[in-house]
A and B are shown apart, each in its own frame.
Chain A
């Protein structure tokens, strides 16, 4: 079967599809890409356009339509590369695209651009360097990486020992063969720079927050401190959550009965230092929460590295809803630029 062989796995590389939805009630987290916009564009550039997932769990009912030939595409799997260092070798012709963090990409030692489709020939070596801005890259392949899903998803969640190439939650390892479907080569395309999700060159992110949960337990003064301050990303920043450091804020509640945690929830433990919960978050928890970061901004957060600066701005639920709808319109209506195909030259 057509596959990419892992020569070097890099720092931390995981197979991710849009996530594992509908299983919180047995304690399973969602997993999925930390930077969903970059994930979607990587697939789009590889012609995996029918996967249709907006990152909000559209595939939750995938199990009901396993016979549907599109079911794989709806959940197209890519490699999420943290920092970089991944080296692959192709055993057949295909096409790839890398999006997200600024990770130098080369094919057979020749540097090539991010945010565009590249033809790969049998025997080609794909080298990813180390991120110069941001820290999460998304490498998609035409047709998507194939594998046995578990709970309807291939997303790798190391903490739960679920998903990935062997369904055991392990990151990519040297020697792994990552199978992909062989499909008609997609059009070579590029996403113009102005259309790309903004990637901070200064390791900073401004995050919009929907106030919610125990927000009433935070006084006006505490909220003012939170929204007027700058917080730093600590070393404890991973797929589960980003722990921040800055002016402590104190709710009037010490703890609460454990309750469901949504994506982007900002919990405030006893030390007053916010933790923003991401794709691999625990499903329930007992710390007070001031609200949740808008999902459209979580990619920016997840691209920050320790020492990165974070600030917050409150928005209402109505505004959040409008922003989500507009973002979807933008995605649907953004045209990729077609590139001269090199396929003919090699024929």
Chain B
């Protein structure tokens, strides 16, 4: 597998590592391992890391190190991804395999205004769409677009659905949505063109919370249906004008 891995210059203080041509669970694990390794080994030489579908952007301090050294450390990370301090592995299993996170969702045509049209297009019942969305264990492939917006894949082909022709001006916070073979929970009210199928009462981004996000890249996510009452009691809000 490591034959496919390449390292390229991105900019004066950044290298980008390509792990393959398309995202997969194996690549997600490999990226998570590399992230943990680089954080441990590079410490303050590292400015930031941007893991994404099948790549990792490594941003470093150009006045304190250089691309030769960073490249060599990345190569070591790929060759031997587990950092050992003494004889003890310094990483626990979750750093390699990702945390497992369950997110509650109130699925309904009330909370998911595109649920019916998505079901119609897929020639499935609303109930079947809801069931299929819960069957997959998703991986967090990337976080971006907005603070806390996590791209989860891959959505079952039967309920994959293209973006709306005209994006909504206002998608509510917590909206659970599908676009092509990806799904996500909107972390804040924003414009958006994804198909809305439900609402999640859990905050996906809270700058005052620690951690500020319940998931990180590489984590595994499952959705679990909850009732309207349960949604309200967990702090969920229904808005009339979605």
Please give the residue numbers on chain A whose beta carbons come within 8 Å of chain B beta carbons, in ascending order. 21-28, 54, 56-58, 60-61, 150-151, 160-162, 167, 210-213, 257-265, 282-285, 289, 291-292, 294-295, 317, 320-321, 324-325, 328
28 intermolecular pairs with C-beta atoms under 8 Å apart: A24-B59, A25-B49, A25-B216, A26-B205, A27-B143, A27-B146, A27-B205, A56-B63, A57-B48, A57-B59, A61-B44, A213-B9, A257-B52, A257-B54, A259-B16, A260-B52, A260-B55, A261-B50, A262-B59, A283-B50, A284-B50, A284-B142, A289-B10, A292-B14, A295-B13, A317-B9, A317-B12, A324-B13
With a cutoff of 8 Å between Cβ atoms, the chain B residues found around residue A57 in the complex are 47-48, 59, 61
A212–B9 touching, CB < 8 Å: yes
Q: In whole angstroms, what is the CA distance A265 to B11 when docked?
A: 7
A213–B10 touching, CB < 8 Å: yes
A262–B53 touching, CB < 8 Å: no
> Would you give the 0/1 interface string for B214-226, flagging 1 where the beta carbon is closer than 8 Å to chain A?
0011000000000
Q: Given contacts A56-B61, A259-B57, is CB(A27)–CB(B148) below 8 Å?
A: yes
Q: Which residue of A lies closest to B212 (CB)?
A: A26
Top 8 A-B residue pairs of the complex, sorted by shortest distance between their CB atoms: A260-B57, A260-B50, A292-B11, A284-B144, A57-B47, A262-B14, A212-B9, A320-B12
Residue from B23, B44, B66, B144 having most chain A Cβ neighbours under 10 A: B144
B23–A257 touching, CB < 8 Å: yes
With a cutoff of 8 Å between Cβ atoms, the chain B residues found around residue A210 in the complex are 9, 11-12
Given A60, A151, A284, A321, which contacts B67 in the complex, CB threshold below 8 Å?
A: A321
> Would you give the 0/1 interface string for B191-231, flagging 1 where the beta carbon is closer than 8 Å to chain A?
00000000000000101000011001100000000000000
A56–B47 touching, CB < 8 Å: yes
Please give the residue numbers on chain B whose beta carbons come within 8 Å of chain A beta carbons, in ascending order. 8-14, 16, 21-23, 44, 46-57, 59, 61-63, 66-67, 142-149, 151, 188, 205, 207, 212-213, 216-217
Residue from A150, A213, A259 having most chain B Cβ neighbours under 10 A: A259
Interface of A is mostly: mixed
Given contacts A56-B62, A160-B146, A317-B9, 17 further A-B contacts (CB under 8 A): A25-B216, A54-B63, A56-B13, A161-B188, A212-B11, A212-B16, A213-B10, A257-B55, A258-B53, A258-B144, A259-B16, A262-B11, A283-B144, A320-B12, A324-B12, A324-B13, A328-B63
Q: Which residue of B lies closest to A208 (CB)?
A: B12
Given A160, A258, A291, A324, which contacts B142 in the complex, CB threshold below 8 Å?
A: A258
A27–B149 touching, CB < 8 Å: yes
Q: Given contacts A162-B147, A259-B55, is CB(A291)–CB(B207) below 8 Å?
A: no
With a cutoff of 8 Å between Cβ atoms, the chain B residues found around residue A167 in the complex are 207
Q: Given contacts A21-B48, A58-B61, A259-B57, is CB(A162)–CB(B144) below 8 Å?
A: no
With a cutoff of 8 Å between Cβ atoms, the chain B residues found around residue A328 in the complex are 63
A24–B50 touching, CB < 8 Å: yes
Q: In whole angstroms, what is the CA distance A151 to B21 when docked?
A: 33
A28–B145 touching, CB < 8 Å: no
B43 CB, min distance to chain A CBs, angstroms = 8
Given B9, B12, B49, which contacts A294 in the complex, CB threshold below 8 Å?
A: B12
Q: Which residue of A lies closest to B65 (CB)?
A: A321
With a cutoff of 8 Å between Cβ atoms, the chain B residues found around residue A265 in the complex are 10-11
B62–A150 touching, CB < 8 Å: no
With a cutoff of 8 Å between Cβ atoms, the chain A residues found around residue B212 in the complex are 26, 151
Q: In whole angstroms, what is the CA distance A211 to B8 when docked?
A: 10
A329 CB, min distance to chain B CBs, angstroms = 10
B62–A257 touching, CB < 8 Å: no
With a cutoff of 8 Å between Cβ atoms, the chain B residues found around residue A262 in the complex are 10-11, 13-14, 57, 59
B13 CB, min distance to chain A CBs, angstroms = 6
With a cutoff of 8 Å between Cβ atoms, the chain A residues found around residue B54 in the complex are 257
With a cutoff of 8 Å between Cβ atoms, the chain B residues found around residue A27 in the complex are 143-149, 205
With a cutoff of 8 Å between Cβ atoms, the chain A residues found around residue B8 in the complex are 212-213
Q: Which residue of A lies closest to B188 (CB)?
A: A161
With a cutoff of 8 Å between Cβ atoms, the chain B residues found around residue A324 in the complex are 12-13, 62-63
A157 CB, min distance to chain B CBs, angstroms = 9
B67–A260 touching, CB < 8 Å: no
Q: Given contacts A56-B63, A262-B10, is CB(A213)–CB(B16) below 8 Å?
A: yes
A23–B52 touching, CB < 8 Å: no
Residue from A151, A263, A283 having most chain B Cβ neighbours under 10 A: A283
With a cutoff of 8 Å between Cβ atoms, the chain B residues found around residue A23 in the complex are 48
Q: Which residue of B lies closest to A159 (CB)?
A: B146
Residue from A22, A28, A58, A265 having most chain B Cβ neighbours under 10 A: A28
Q: In whole angstroms, what is the CA distance A257 to B56 when docked?
A: 12
With a cutoff of 8 Å between Cβ atoms, the chain A residues found around residue B13 in the complex are 56, 262-263, 295, 324
Q: Which residue of B lies closest to A265 (CB)?
A: B11
Residue from B22, B23, B48 having most chain A Cβ neighbours under 10 A: B48
B52–A284 touching, CB < 8 Å: yes
Q: Which residue of B lies closest to A291 (CB)?
A: B11
B49–A24 touching, CB < 8 Å: yes
B19 CB, min distance to chain A CBs, angstroms = 10
Q: Which residue of B lies closest to A23 (CB)?
A: B48
B60 CB, min distance to chain A CBs, angstroms = 9
With a cutoff of 8 Å between Cβ atoms, the chain A residues found around residue B149 in the complex are 27
A163 CB, min distance to chain B CBs, angstroms = 10
